């Protein structure tokens, strides 16, 4: 049997970051930069006020106090987006709003709170030091310097910076197009009433969602019946729009395991047993003239999900250009005992919480590979190594954090 790490390494070596493309910033959100972004201009690009108030000469208001305010003539008014037409000079102030360019002649801003807010003449009740409440050009970013490096993930924060320094588009690694094909005679589309023996095709919906959450553009194909010609035809149709194909079902030892039957004949996909639970039967290889990578996942829902997390999500992240393609892993105190199979890495479904300042993992009761309810409640996977056969309450375990939204 192949180890989990070995299978993942073989799959990861078969993919590389997709050729960069240029995208408008909003479409590039979530993607990884394939170029350095350099500032076309400084930030701020001009000296401006950090407060609503009055642009003044600091020397004019040096003696100001509540008991003996200094009175200045208000000779102009500058909202953000405008420039003053007058100058500040001794005895003259200009009313100014946050973000408006500092008028010529001024060397400080007095916040409106320290004044009577006059519009013709203003009484100022406290002094300010020269340079106060002025945001200087270039104090944030110097023109011509790189502000975002190759490999940066475009988040709300970094995309704001790219925009502020002059960009509308950036070069990024595109989102991989992932096609999910579910197989099985027993599968029906979501919402279709079931005859006895049929089940809803939950895997394709789950895997498309998981692929999208990983950053891919994912499509659902199928369900395809366990028929070799139908499966071949679907693969042929779908390959043209795929950077990665995922199949679900039909890879075990059963008589109708069509995925394995069809792809074994072609010879470019390897079917192996991986020493893990759930998810032992795995297949990985390439298909078609373009050698599109394909991962064939087992059909049991929990097996399919765990296989996606452990083997497929890293492929999507690598194609997107992420340097670290793995989920965050933490150490957590396990709150209940459970058994683990000898010789296999177990991925047990747990709820990960922070209690009293430390991570704790609450195992979901039943760990069968068909237990979708437990999978849905879990938000983390405990990783139990092959040589460990029992976890006791209080043991420290390794947990893959799948991320969660607080209810
Ligand atoms: P298989 O890997 O095809 O032998 O399927 C193993 C188990 O997973 C069977 O109980 C199937 O009914 C179930 N299964 C297979 N495909 C899906 C699917 N797309 N959605 C939900 N369950 C599935
Ligand atoms: Mg099947």
For residue 354, what is the domain's CATH number?
2.40.340.10
Does residue 276 share a domain with residue 157?
Answer: no
Average pLDDT rounded to a whole number, residues 280-285: 96
Average pLDDT rounded to a whole number, residues 197-213: 97
Q: For residue 76, tell me if it sits in a domain.
A: yes
Q: How far apart are CA 137 and CA 42, in angstroms?
A: 7
> Residue 261 C-alpha to ligand 2 middle, in angstroms?
12
Average pLDDT rounded to a whole number, residues 45-72: 98
Ligand 1 nearest-atom number relative to CA 226: 3
Does residue 262 share a domain with residue 396?
Answer: no
Q: For residue 406, tell me if it sits in a domain.
A: no
124 against 405, higher pLDDT: 124
Task: Supply the pLDDT for residue 286.
Answer: 97
Does residue 385 share a domain with residue 333?
Answer: yes
Nearest CA to ligand 1 atom 10: 300
Task: Show the ligand 1 pocket: residues with CB < 6 angstroms.
Answer: 182, 184, 186-187, 199, 201-204, 248-250, 252, 254, 298-301
Does residue 203 share a domain with residue 66?
Answer: no
Q: For residue 407, tell me if it sits in a domain.
A: no
> In this model, does residue 104 exceed pLDDT 90?
yes
> In this model, does residue 405 exceed pLDDT 80?
no
Does residue 388 share a domain with residue 353?
Answer: yes
Q: For residue 303, tell me if it sits in a domain.
A: yes
Does residue 347 share a domain with residue 298?
Answer: no
Task: Supply the pLDDT for residue 365.
Answer: 81
Provide the domain limits for residue 160: 21-43+139-173
Does residue 384 share a domain with residue 358?
Answer: yes
> Residue 249 C-alpha to ligand 2 middle, in angstroms?
5
Task: Supply the pLDDT for residue 80.
Answer: 97
Does residue 159 share a domain with residue 72?
Answer: no
Ligand in closest contact with the CA of 300: 1
Q: For residue 324, tell me if it sits in a domain.
A: no
Average pLDDT rounded to a whole number, residues 263-280: 95
Q: For residue 393, tell me if it sits in a domain.
A: yes
Does residue 156 share a domain with residue 98?
Answer: no
Average pLDDT rounded to a whole number, residues 335-354: 97
> In this model, does residue 407 exceed pLDDT 80?
no
Task: Supply the pLDDT for residue 254.
Answer: 80
Does residue 281 share a domain with residue 188?
Answer: yes
């Amino acid at each position: 049997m192949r180890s989990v790490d070995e299978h993942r390494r073989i799959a990861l070596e078969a993919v590389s970051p997709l050729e960069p493309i240029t995208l408008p910033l909003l479409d590039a959100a979530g993607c990884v930069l394939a170029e350095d972004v350099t500032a076309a201009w400084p930030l701020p690009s001009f000296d401006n006020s950090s407060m609503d108030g009055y642009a003044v000469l600091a020397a004019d208001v040096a003696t100001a106090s509540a008991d003996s305010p200094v009175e200045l003539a208000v000779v102009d008014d500058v909202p953000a987006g405008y420039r003053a037409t007058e100058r500040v000079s001794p005895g003259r102030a200009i009313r100014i709003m946050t973000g408006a360019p500092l008028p010529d002649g001024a060397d400080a801003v007095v916040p409106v709170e320290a004044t009577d807010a006059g519009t013709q003449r203003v009484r100022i009740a406290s002094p300010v030091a020269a340079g106060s409440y002025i945001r200087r050009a270039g104090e944030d970013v110097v023109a011509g310097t790189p502000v975002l490096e190759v490999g940066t993930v475009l988040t709300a924060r970094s995309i704001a910076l790219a925009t502020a320094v002059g960009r509308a588009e950036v070069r990024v690694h595109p989102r991989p197009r992932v096609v999910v094909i579910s197989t099985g005679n027993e599968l029906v589309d979501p919402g279709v009433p079931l005859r006895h023996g049929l089940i809803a095709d939950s895997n394709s919906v789950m895997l498309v969602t998981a692929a999208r959450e990983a950053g891919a553009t994912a499509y659902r194909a199928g369900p395809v019946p366990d028929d070799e010609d139908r499966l071949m035809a679907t693969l042929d149709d779908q390959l043209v729009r795929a950077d990665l194909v995922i199949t679900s079902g039909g890879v075990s030892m059963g008589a109708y395991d069509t995925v394995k039957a069809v792809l074994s004949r072609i010879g470019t996909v390897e079917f192996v047993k991986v020493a893990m639970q759930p998810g032992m039967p795995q297949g990985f290889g390439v298909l078609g003239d373009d050698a599109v990578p394909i991962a064939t996942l087992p059909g049991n829902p929990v097996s399919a999900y765990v296989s996606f997390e452990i083997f497929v999500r890293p492929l999507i992240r690598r194609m997107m250009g992420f340097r670290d393609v793995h989920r965050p892993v933490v150490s957590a105190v396990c709150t209940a005992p459970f058994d683990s199979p000898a010789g296999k890495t177990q991925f047990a479904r747990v709820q990960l919480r922070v209690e009293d300042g430390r991570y704790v993992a609450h195992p979901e009761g039943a760990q069968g590979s068909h237990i979708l309810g437990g999978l849905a409640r879990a938000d983390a996977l405990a990783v139990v190594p092959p040589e460990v056969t029992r976890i006791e309450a209080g043991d420290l375990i390794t947990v893959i954090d799948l991320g969660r939204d607080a209810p």
